[in-house]
Amino acid sequence: MTDIRYDRAPGDSLAQTTREESASSGPLIYTIGLVLAVILTVTSFWVANTTLLWRPGISLGLTVLAIAQMGVHLVFFLHITTGSDNTNNVLALAFGVLVVILVVAGSLWIMDSLNENMTLGPELMNLQMQH
């Protein structure tokens, strides 16, 4: 037999594995993913509510924990990897991330423009105060 290694997510089984191995590893992998997700969630709540951390670093810490949480879900629950059989999944994920970034950036840009355009100019403020 050859030793061919494939890039695969935890819980994915190769064609050579037996049913007993894949049946026993499935719940174990999902349990590990669940435990990691719960730990990351509890840590996020602790980071948000503690006074022990440097205040400006809290948002960075929450961002890192959120990215780790997404990684746990993608690998342990959705089984998305970079293997050749998962190319479409990775491309769909990358496209989804691009769309989310565009929507968030566009929303922030629109809200910033609305904030500038909604304020009255100095001429109108003076005119309004005279009446």
Q: Within this chain, do residues 72 and 119 fall inside the same structural domain, yes or no? A: no
Residue-wise pLDDT tens digits, 20-67: 444 446 889 899 999 999 999 999 999 999 888 888 889 999 999 999
At a CB cut-off of 8 Å and minimum separation 6, what does 84 contact? 7
Residue-wise pLDDT tens digits, 62-117: 999 999 999 899 888 888 877 777 778 778 888 988 999 999 999 988 888 886 67
Instruction: Please give the residue range of the domain that contains residue 15.
Output: 1-81
Q: Within this chain, do residues 9 and 49 fall inside the same structural domain, yes or no? A: yes
Q: Within this chain, do residues 73 and 91 fall inside the same structural domain, yes or no? A: no
Our count of domains for the chain comes to 2
The Cα–Cα gap between 129 and 1 comes to 88
Q: Within this chain, do residues 17 and 37 fall inside the same structural domain, yes or no? A: yes
Asked whether 69 and 41 are in contact (CB, 8 A), the reply is yes
Q: Within this chain, do residues 32 and 77 fall inside the same structural domain, yes or no? A: yes
Q: Within this chain, do residues 54 and 112 fall inside the same structural domain, yes or no? A: no
| Residue 20 pLDDT | 41
